[in-house]
A and B are shown apart, each in its own frame.
Chain A
């Protein structure tokens, strides 16, 4: 029952492209920037995308973000086995006055 809705899992073959959706509302994604985090097994989350579509230094351009209305999307191209991880979207919710995250999406690279 996360405020932001993500698919629980996605999968694709190495070298392929995958997208992960993040659905919210006007009080969160609709009026605030979307962030995306990658969490490799047994490690802390790591920032992948901030302000909807910006990549921190060191994040390869295989990772991209976009936002439309009350939804955000993370795209990953040229999938590698090392991309297998949990991916979380997040933003601020102005009505709740709280940070909110999606439930997470587990990416499997077949």
Chain B
């Protein structure tokens, strides 16, 4: 069974940093692209970033480019999202997701990030 378990969310002040982790199991982690998607309170899904199988190619939404960094550790079967210079509008549930074709087939349960003073 595919499992994606996010952690690292919490309350952070504007301008602060946070690192999210996603522990993957039940599939060959190194064979799949991986994504982060977020959902603000009462809002829709917003794609954030993706990374290829060996971590050499990364892509970001314009809203997070230069502030967020996606990475992966295949030895630990773990995906990361380093978030710097956080803003109130980054408040959301962040989902780790497995890539399939051009988008996503499996989702984690999400971790809540709240940016507030």
Q: Which residues of A contact B (CB under 8 A)?
A: 2, 32-33, 35, 37, 39, 43-47, 50-51, 56, 86, 88, 90-92, 96-104
Contacts and interface: CB of A to CB of B under 8 A. Distances in A.
Given A100-B47, A101-B46, A44 B107 contact: yes
A35 to B, nearest CB: 5
Interface in B58-117: 59-62, 95, 100-110
Contacts of B108: 44
Among all A-B residue pairs, the 3 with the closest Cβ atoms: A99-B47, A92-B102, A104-B44
Interface of B: 35, 37, 44-47, 50, 59-62, 95, 100-110
B45 A101 contact: yes
Contact of A98 (B59, B104, B106): B59
Given A45-B45, A101-B47, A104-B44, A33 B109 contact: no
Given A44-B95, A98-B59, A2 B103 contact: no
A44 B109 contact: yes
B44 A45 contact: no
Contacts of B104: 35, 37, 47, 90, 99
A66 B90 CA distance: 34
